[in-house]
């Protein structure tokens, strides 16, 4: 009798576990636990769905999502989309996920995907629908597929293609009699050693005018700019299978961080700890060189400055207003060429009651019609679709293209060069958020601590690796 009771309890517990797993992975009546659907199942998009779009803080973004929804509904007339536009922050999104009130489809950034898909189990896999709706992933930049993928499953359809490039003052390049970096990029000779040499020659004081110049300003405490160094000498700084990070145990990762420190110690870089879009805190330290170059104007006293496509208009217009000739160039190649790359996109909530329509709405952004609708005919982000990025010009405005105007046109190819070198822009894209927080804490100060003589880079990275791995192990063993 006791044996029967035990078996009954075991069976009940097993059944309950299955139910809980089903709820955790998907409330969809169709999608299996592995993200697939029945072999004979044919999706039929229809009914009503809700789209949560959280960054509609400008007229341009509001128009983008409204045009996108309009394009989608022309293709799928049996689906009605309620677009909920707001400018709320991520905490609001997380609250809506927790309360199960989030939309069937919602907007997110690449840095959210790992957390929402792996930790919170809040996203529905899109792999089956990619094939069912005829989406050609081979025509999507591979990094844009990777950014939306966790453990081999696609969870986010990316909206745009955005990797780090360098803006530069062409007048300074000409005055120093240096070859145009865009020409070197085209020739495949624009590498890190060349860039360092340029920065040496471009850091000086004009004895006639007394004006001072510096080679570059880089945000080497910002993950989009330091991750390429972690991987730029062949290193692997994270291991999701064994759940650990390697900053000192992999000599190649350590070498990359030392390279950053040594470069700043050359006193040719106006070092910045974090992205300009990030609020600096009292915990972020400054380097001696940062203090030395603090009052240098980023346009007319600094040659190279890191940036992205989405601030090209504002930065470009500032150069123009100052009467400075300027251009953009790809990030100089490290021995293993890596470029910090990011994006935003659409994901489907795993609690949707209408997965067919929700998946169709999310995946439409991976089509040419969806891209043109979202980004507009007169500008917008770099397309994530290769055929559009290489063969269309609508995103290459408002400045002249270098191919049309070699003297004053801009090197738009910088934004789509070396796609095979793209890597994640944020550490939280590939590791748990609690571990990512530890990595960020140490990495924003590793350069100034070393350069200022406070703590050697290896000591800082040893502390980072130990603390991060202890945290990851504690999460895994919960």
Whether residues 111 and 154 share a domain: the answer is yes
**3 lies in a domain?**
no
pLDDT in tens, 371-405: 999 988 666 789 999 999 999 888 988 899 998 99
Instruction: Compute the distance between CA of residue 13 and CA of residue 111 in angstroms, rounded to an integer.
Output: 36
pLDDT in tens, 195-225: 999 999 999 999 888 899 999 999 999 999 9
pLDDT in tens, 158-179: 999 999 999 999 999 999 999 9
Whether residues 287 and 242 share a domain: the answer is yes
* Residue 238 main-chain phi, psi, to 5 deg: -135, 155
Whether residues 226 and 297 share a domain: the answer is yes
**18 lies in a domain?**
no
The pLDDT of residue 340 is 97
Mean pLDDT of 299-319: 93
Identify the band that residue 261 occupies on the pLDDT scale cut at 50, 70 and 90.
very high
**21 lies in a domain?**
no
In a 13 Å sphere around the CA of 157, the CA atoms on its Cβ side amount to: 28
* Closest-CA residue to 107 (of 52, 152, 171, 180): 52
Whether residues 36 and 76 share a domain: the answer is yes
Whether residues 337 and 468 share a domain: the answer is yes
| Crossing angle (nearest 10°) for helices 457-476 and 251-265 | 140
Whether residues 88 and 66 share a domain: the answer is yes
CA torsion sign for 63, 65, 68, 70 is negative
Identify the band that residue 39 occupies on the pLDDT scale cut at 50, 70 and 90.
low
The pLDDT of residue 402 is 92
**15 lies in a domain?**
no
Whether residues 310 and 376 share a domain: the answer is no
Q: Is the pLDDT of residue 450 over 50?
A: yes
Range name among 25-29, 94-98, 177-181, 294-298 with the lowest pLDDT average? 25-29
**17 lies in a domain?**
no
For the chain, the C-alpha Rg in angstroms (whole number) is 24
pTM: 0.88
The pLDDT of residue 60 is 82
Whether residues 272 and 322 share a domain: the answer is yes
* CATH number for position 316: 3.40.190.10
Whether residues 330 and 246 share a domain: the answer is yes
Q: Is the pLDDT of residue 471 over 60?
A: yes
Q: Is the pLDDT of residue 439 over 90?
A: yes
Higher-pLDDT residue of 290 and 125 is: 125
Whether residues 102 and 191 share a domain: the answer is no
Whether residues 361 and 446 share a domain: the answer is no
Identify the band that residue 289 occupies on the pLDDT scale cut at 50, 70 and 90.
low
The pLDDT of residue 312 is 93
Q: Is the pLDDT of residue 1 over 80?
A: no
Instruction: Compute the distance between CA of residue 182 and CA of residue 441 in angstroms, rounded to an integer.
Output: 35
The pLDDT of residue 15 is 42
Residue 329's alpha-carbon distances to 253, 424, 463, in angstroms, are: 25, 20, 36
Domain total of the chain: 2
Under 8 Å between Cβ of 268 and 199: yes
Q: What percent of the chain has pLDDT over 70?
A: 86
Instruction: Compute the distance between CA of residue 400 and CA of residue 410 in angstroms, rounded to an integer.
Output: 6
The pLDDT of residue 92 is 79
Instruction: Compute the distance between CA of residue 60 and CA of residue 44 in angstroms, rounded to an integer.
Output: 32
Q: Is the pLDDT of residue 360 over 50?
A: yes
Burial of 434 (0-12, 13-18, 19+ CB in 10 A): middle
Q: Is the pLDDT of residue 305 over 70?
A: yes
pLDDT in tens, 45-57: 999 999 999 876 6
The pLDDT of residue 20 is 38
**11 lies in a domain?**
no
The pLDDT of residue 117 is 95
The pLDDT of residue 4 is 42
Angle formed at CA 164 by CA 159 and CA 167, multiple of 5 degrees:
125
**397 lies in a domain?**
no
Whether residues 282 and 369 share a domain: the answer is no
The pLDDT of residue 21 is 41
Dump the DSSP string for 34-87.
Answer: TS---TT------EEEEEEE----SHHHHHHHHHHHHHHHHH-TTEEEEEEE--
**132 lies in a domain?**
yes
Instruction: Compute the distance between CA of residue 293 and CA of residue 296 in angstroms, rounded to an integer.
Output: 5
Q: What is the DSSP letter of 311?
A: G
Residue at a domain's end among 352, 368, 391: 391
pLDDT in tens, 109-120: 999 999 999 989
Q: What percent of the chain has pLDDT over 90?
A: 71
Domain that holds residue 307: 163-341+403-476
Mean pLDDT of 123-137: 94
The token pair at 133 is: 């709706």
């Amino acid at each position: 009798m006791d044996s029967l009771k035990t078996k009954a309890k075991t069976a009940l517990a097993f059944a309950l576990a299955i139910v809980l797993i089903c709820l955790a992975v998907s409330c969809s009546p169709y999608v299996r636990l592995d993200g697939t659907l029945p072999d004979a199942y044919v999706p039929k998009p229809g009914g009503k769905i809700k789209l949560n779009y959280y960054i509609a803080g400008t007229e341009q973004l509001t128009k983008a999502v409204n045009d996108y929804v309009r394009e989608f509904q022309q293709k799928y007339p049996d689906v009605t989309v309620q677009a909920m536009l707001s400018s709320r922050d991520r905490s609001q999104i997380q609250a809506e996920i927790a309360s199960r009130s989030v939309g069937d489809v919602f907007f997110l950034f690449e840095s959210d995907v790992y957390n929402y898909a792996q930790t919170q189990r809040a996203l529905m896999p899109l792999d089956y629908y990619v094939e069912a709706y005829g989406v050609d992933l081979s025509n999507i930049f591979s990094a844009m597929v990777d950014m939306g993928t966790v453990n081999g499953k696609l969870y986010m359809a990316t909206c745009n293609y955005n990797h780090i490039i360098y803006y530069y003052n062409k007048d300074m390049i000409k005055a120093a009699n240096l070859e145009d970096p865009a020409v070197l990029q085209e020739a495949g000779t624009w590498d890190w050693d060349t860039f360092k040499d340029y920065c040496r020659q471009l850091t000086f004081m004009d004895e006639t005018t007394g004006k001072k110049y510096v080679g570059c300003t880089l945000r080497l405490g910002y993950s989009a700019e330091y991750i390429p160094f972690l991987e730029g000498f062949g290193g692997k700084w994270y291991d999701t299978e064994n759940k650990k990070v390697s900053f000192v145990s992999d000599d190649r990762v350590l070498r990359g961080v030392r390279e950053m420190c040594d470069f700043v110690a050359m006193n040719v870089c106006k070092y910045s700890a974090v992205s300009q879009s990030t609020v600096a805190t009292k915990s972020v330290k400054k380097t001696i060189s940062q203090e030395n170059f603090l009052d240098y104007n980023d346009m007319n006293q600094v040659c190279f400055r890191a940036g992205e496509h989405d601030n090209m208009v504002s930065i470009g217009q500032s150069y123009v207003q100052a009467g400075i000739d300027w251009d953009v160039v790809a990030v100089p190649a490290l021995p293993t060429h890596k470029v910090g790359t990011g994006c935003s996109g659409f994901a489907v909530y795993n609690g949707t009651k209408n997965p067919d329509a929700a998946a169709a709405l999310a995946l439409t952004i991976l089509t040419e019609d969806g891209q043109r609708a979202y980004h507009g005919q007169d500008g917008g982000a770099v397309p994530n679709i290769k055929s559009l990025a290489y063969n269309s010009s609508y995103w290459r405005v408002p400045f002249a293209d270098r191919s049309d105007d070699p003297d004053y046109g801009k090197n738009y190819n910088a934004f789509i060069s070396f796609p095979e070198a793209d890597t994640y822009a944020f550490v939280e894209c590939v590791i748990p958020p609690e571990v990512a927080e530890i990595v960020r804490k140490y990495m924003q100060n590793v350069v100034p601590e070393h350069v200022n003589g406070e703590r050697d880079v290896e000591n800082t990275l040893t502390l980072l690796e130990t603390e991060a791995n202890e945290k990851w192990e504690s999460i895994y063993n919960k």
